[in-house]
Amino acid sequence: MTYDFNALKVIFEEIPEASVKEAMQALNSHERIFLYGAGRSGLMLRAFAMRLAQAGRTVYVVGETVTPAIQKHDLLILASASGKTPSVLRYAETAKEQGATVYALTASADSALASRSDSVVVLPAPTKDSVSASTIMGTLFEQAVLLFCDATVSALGEDDDKMRARHANLE
């Protein structure tokens, strides 16, 4: 298998530029931000949580012991390439029942996750179930999630020195 380094560029050319602005607006309009994804998508959202915390946001990763109950006016960001991951769908439903806003990152615009979300960003990448000659099991989706999330944090415009001051020092 040969990796196609141009593949991410192709994916990002298909994402509307307004998507990062919409993500930034969602982050700016909620005091508390919750994130969840299963497997590798979850790992990408953990990296996003770290960056958001460094940007001064109140952020929680669903499943951690210190994560409080989600409430009305909170934001839940979910990632699932297929948009049908059972735990992701369950959390979307719970968040909606509590009056929270659900924001989805998915590769499937017509998925169950997309239909349960208030906002959706479609990252048009192969999923783990897709056949791809240049990637393994959804790698492009996870890479696209990470890059999209980093672009969103960059768009927030937080001062680098302030972010460095919030970086973990118990390493």
Active site residues: 142
- 162: Cβ–Cβ under 8 A, 6 or more apart, which residues? 56
* CB-neighbour burial class of residue 67 (10 A; exposed 0-12, middle 13-18, buried 19+): middle
Contact 40, 92 (CB under 8 A): no
Going by C-alpha positions, the residue among 143, 122, 119, 139 that lies closest to residue 130 is: 139
Structure tokens at 129: 């179930």
CA atoms within 13 A on the CB side of 2: 2
The single-letter code of the amino acid at 63 is G
68's tokens: 């409080």
**CB 8, CB 15: distance < 8 Å:** no
169 C-beta neighbours (distance < 10 Å), count: 6
